[in-house]
C-alpha cells in the first residue's frame, strides 16, 4: 500500500467537488488556501485556470473537477486550492470545499474493481470506506498525461 504511516492508517484530506467527496493523501499536500488573483494564460488548456505566485514560484492552478472528466468548477469566494507535490514542483488544484483531515484504517481501503479499471480513471488509488460511502482517493501524479505535464512545464518556464 502507498502513502501509509507506521500506525496502519492512511492520512488524507477529504474535499468536495460537485457535492461528491474525494480525497488526496496528506503526504502529497503542501498547503490549503483560499483563491487568490490568477494570472490568465492565453491558449492554455481549459483545465488550466491560470498561474499564481506560490512562495516565489510561478505555479499553475488547475481545475481538478475538469481533470476528472466533469464540468468546469464555478469559482466563488469560498473556492479553495490545494497545493500538492507534483514531482519536484507544485501544482494547485481547485476544490469547492474541504471536509477535513482523516485517518483511514488500512482495512477500510478498497482497490478499484478490475471490471471498472480504465485508463481515464487510473488516477484513482483506492476507495476509502467511511460509514456508508466510498471516497475515491486521488493519485495526483496520474492526473495529467506526459504531454500535458510537458505543456505545464513550458508555461511556467517561459
- pLDDT per residue of the chain (158 residues) written in tens, 0 to 9: 455 556 789 999 999 988 889 999 999 999 999 988 899 988 888 899 999 998 888 899 999 998 887 789 888 888 899 999 887 788 999 999 999 999 999 999 988 665 555 545 678 888 899 888 899 999 888 887 656 776 676 666 66
Can you read off the three cell numbers belonging to residue 23?
480525497
Q: How many CB atoms lie within 10 A of CB 95?
A: 21
Q: Strand runs (DSSP E) across 19-153, as ranges?
A: 20-25, 29-34, 48-54, 57-63, 80-86, 89-95, 97-105, 109-110, 124-130, 133-138
What CATH number should be reported for the domain whose range is 9-157? 2.40.50.180
Amino acid at each position: 500500500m502507498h502513502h501509509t504511516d507506521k500506525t496502519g492508517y492512511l492520512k488524507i484530506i477529504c474535499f468536495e467537488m460537485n457535492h461528491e467527496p474525494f480525497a488526496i493523501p496528506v503526504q502529497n499536500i503542501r498547503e490549503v488556501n483560499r483563491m487568490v488573483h490568477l494570472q490568465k494564460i492565453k491558449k492554455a488548456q481549459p483545465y488550466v485556470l491560470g498561474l499564481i505566485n506560490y512562495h516565489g514560484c510561478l505555479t499553475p492552478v488547475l481545475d481538478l473537477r475538469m481533470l476528472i472528466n466533469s464540468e468546469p468548477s464555478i469559482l466563488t469566494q469560498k473556492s479553495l486550492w490545494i497545493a500538492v507535490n507534483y514531482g519536484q514542483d507544485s501544482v494547485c488544484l481547485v476544490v469547492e470545499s474541504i471536509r477535513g483531515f482523516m485517518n483511514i484504517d488500512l482495512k477500510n481501503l478498497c482497490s478499484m474493481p478490475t471490471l471498472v479499471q480504465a485508463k481515464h480513471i487510473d488516477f484513482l488509488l483506492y476507495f476509502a470506506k467511511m460509514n456508508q460511502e466510498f471516497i475515491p482517493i486521488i493519485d495526483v501524479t496520474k492526473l495529467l498525461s506526459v504531454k500535458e505535464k510537458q505543456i505545464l512545464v513550458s508555461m511556467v518556464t517561459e
